[in-house]
Every structure is written in C-alpha cells, then in structure tokens.
Copies of this chain bind each other. A is one copy, B any other.
C-alpha cells in the first residue's frame, strides 16, 4: 500500500502522507515555517526551532475571543503572505490552525500533523474548523484545507488507552460504513491497545483511504457521510448521561454494539446480514475491551434513554439511527417514536454493557 495519497475537494487538493519519524522531515522541508503546537508536545520538537507558538489544547483556547492573541503571535513572529504554518496537535489545534491561517492576510499556507488517534485515523482529512464564541460551542467555523497532511505514527506513544482505542473505534466504523470488504481488511489487522507505531501506520492508511472515499463522494455531508454517524446517536446519549465519564470513542464503540443488537431484534437482517453484524460485534468487543477501561460509575439506563430521546437529529415522526440492514450494509433508518422502539433501544444498550462488562443501573 502506498504511504501517501491525494484528497480532492472543491476548495483544493492536498497530499496525505502516513509514516514514522515524519515530524523531522516535515520541519526540515519547511525550515522557515512558523510551528504552532499543542504545548504538551512542545518537548517532542527540536528546542532550537526559530519560530514556535505553543498553545494549550482546551475549549477556552478554541474560542473566537482567543483568536486575536494567536493572530498577533503570528504577527509578532513576522508572518507575511508567504509564511507557511505547520500545525502539530489534535482536533483543537486543527480548529485553531484552520481558522487562523484562513484569515491571516486573507489566507496563508499551512500543513497539518495530527497527533491523536482520532485525528490520525479520521478527522485530519475532510476537516472543517469549529470555534466557540461567548461560551457557545462551535458557533462559528469555516473550511480551509491545509496544503498537506502528514501523519507521524510515532505520536501514538503519547496516547493513553482510551484515546488510542477511541480512535481505532472510529477507524473500524469508517471501514464498516464503506462495506464488508473494507471492514474485513481492517479486521485482519487485529487492532488492539497497546499498538506499535508500525501497526498504526497500516491501520491509519486503511482508515484514511476509506475516509477519502466518503469525502470525495459526499463533500458536504448530505448522504454517504451520514453513515459515519454509526454508533454516534447511542454513543452521544451514553456520554451525556454519564457526564462524559466514558471517552467518546469508547461510547461510540458501545453504540455500535447496541445498534447492531437493535437491528437484529427488529428483524432487519438477513442470515448473511446477521453474520456480518455479529462479526462487527465481536470485533468491537475485542477492541473496546483491550482498553481495559471502566466507566466512572454504573451507566444509568433511564437517563441514557432520556438523552437518546432528546437528540436533535431525530425527526417528529421517528428516531433516526444508523444501523445495518438486509445483508449487512449500513443505512440511515427511522424508528417510530413509540414505547416499542425505546424498549428495543434499551435492550441494545443493556446488551452492549453486558458484552463490555460495564455495570448498568436502572
């Protein structure tokens, strides 16, 4: 498998490279760049870089109110129209880099190096910025692709079990959404925590080349990309009900198991579909369990159902979830808003908790 590929979008094409030890190459290729980095990773970069902006990667920093300071830091480092910015960090650094580079002198070039598993496996391509304003999350944003994305899998040594497995959950979800063949290729790699950088390299390439397909066929999230919400409606409900006591990716993994159970119990699956859904179920159980993490407290089922019920993506006439159908392909389906549907959702969540050995409370 080649270690780089192009992503084509209406706002520009860019190259994506995946490998080990690439941070040094990237910095050597852009010796005059200004480097914008998550302050927790500053020590992993050479001490003598001439122009560095270290930023805390938190929600407060990712606000419009803080953007003026970042822009003035660029100006203080004499950034001009021809300046290239190298952004190194997770989703928050990506948000800040996208936004700031898009407006500085009406747009300057940047490269992005993701450092979280979610970033490396998924969100580093097809990205859009999301910036908070006045404490309101993600109220503004824009689209401004980098000139290149460079994934250096050596960064996975900085990640804990929850972050690593959470990113892998999104990766296998992307592959499954593409189809059973893409899933089987990923499955054969036996992704588990802990993960070596070499192993991650193969997995990230698989996940990103599949993600590219979704971006290129459905740049604006109208159809195919909606399937990437697989596991998310359940997952968001579990996250909210536990006050984010479960890492996002693990909650999505649980949601995938719950969605598959609901699809099976609703009779939506053919014998072949049942087999495929069960294959995904087994994959996901093995993956999530490898993190060896437990929720902070028992998962409060009634509260999860409340949060599920109030999800803004539902319609008046039905709950909208992504689940396998027929021979196992994912589809966006609508469940009637009634007691029977909620009972089925509840049974799916209970089954997923049991499969993961997570405690459940009424």
Contact = CB atoms under 8 A, between A and B. Distances in A.
A25 B143 CA distance: 33
A128 B136 CA distance: 27
Interface stretch (A36-44, A61-69, A169-177, A289-297): A61-69
Interface in A40-89: 64-65, 67-68, 71-72, 75
A105 interface: yes
Interface in A69-113: 71-72, 75, 99, 102-107
A139 B75 contact: yes
Q: Pick from A67, A103, A136 the residue with the most CB of B within 10 Å.
A: A103
Contacts of A139: 71, 75, 104-105
Contacts of A105: 139-141
A133 interface: yes
A136 B103 contact: no
Q: Pick from A99, A102, A142 the residue with the most CB of B within 10 Å.
A: A142
A362 to B, nearest CB: 37
A68 B133 contact: yes
A28 to B, nearest CB: 30
A134 interface: yes
A135 to B, nearest CB: 10
A75 B64 CA distance: 14
B128 A106 contact: yes
A133 to B, nearest CB: 5
A72 B133 contact: yes
Contacts of A67: 64
Contact of A136 (B75, B106, B131, B142): B75
Interface of A: 64-65, 67-68, 71-72, 75, 99, 102-107, 128, 131, 133-134, 136, 139-143
12 contacts: A64-B64, A64-B68, A64-B71, A68-B134, A71-B134, A75-B134, A103-B142, A105-B140, A106-B128, A106-B141, A106-B142, A142-B142
